[in-house]
Amino acid sequence: MKFRETKLRGAYLIELEKLQDERGYFARAWCQQEFLKNGLDADLVQCNVSQNPRKGTLRGMHYQDPPHAETKLVRCTRGAVYDVIVDLRPDSETFLQWIAEDLTADNGKIMYIPKGFAHGFQTLEENSMVFYQVSEFYARDYCRGVRWDDPRLNIAWPHDVAVISAQDKGWRELDVARLAPLRNLSGNSELTHQQK
């Protein structure tokens, strides 16, 4: 696995090291030892799948407040998505900055999203499927979100929105005061298993 830190501190794009032969390729898609060696959160407790029949479907921008803030590993297992993360940690030098990456079933790229980031994606193909591994169990009372079209973030989505949930459409515009619980996550978003 190849780990490349993005411009947002603590967020990584992970590429598979493919061993190819006449059958195709084989690659490790998760290795606790390699995550720990790179100083990343390797305590994953839940896996989720998101199936999206229509191109242009938008999901996001989601996060959970502490004490249920979650690290996420996101990959596309069928089709393609435009994956977006936003640094919501008030004490981070990249506060309110975002990046996006095309995650496809073909490229096998994985987005490592630390605690304190909002995450969302838009499907680039019909019948796209996304697989998440997360470090915390779902905690409804701690679920939060920011608008996908918040003018302060100005995320450049590739397509008009074809499908979006009522909840995602209803998130309020960014209020920095509401992000106070995410303070101090930028210093401990990379705690290793041994440090916890």
Catalytic residue, candidates 12, 25, 62, 68? 62
CA distances from 134 to 47, 51, 91, 148 (A): 6, 17, 23, 21
Q: Is 142 a catalytic residue?
A: no
Of the candidates 16, 17, 71, the one whose C-alpha atom is nearest the C-alpha of residue 44 is 71
Q: Is 132 a catalytic residue?
A: yes
Catalytic residue, candidates 63, 82, 112, 132? 132
Q: In what order do the strands lie in the sheet with 98-104?
A: 98-104, 80-87, 117-123, 58-64, 143-145
Place of tokens 């994606």: 121
Active-site residue set: 62, 132
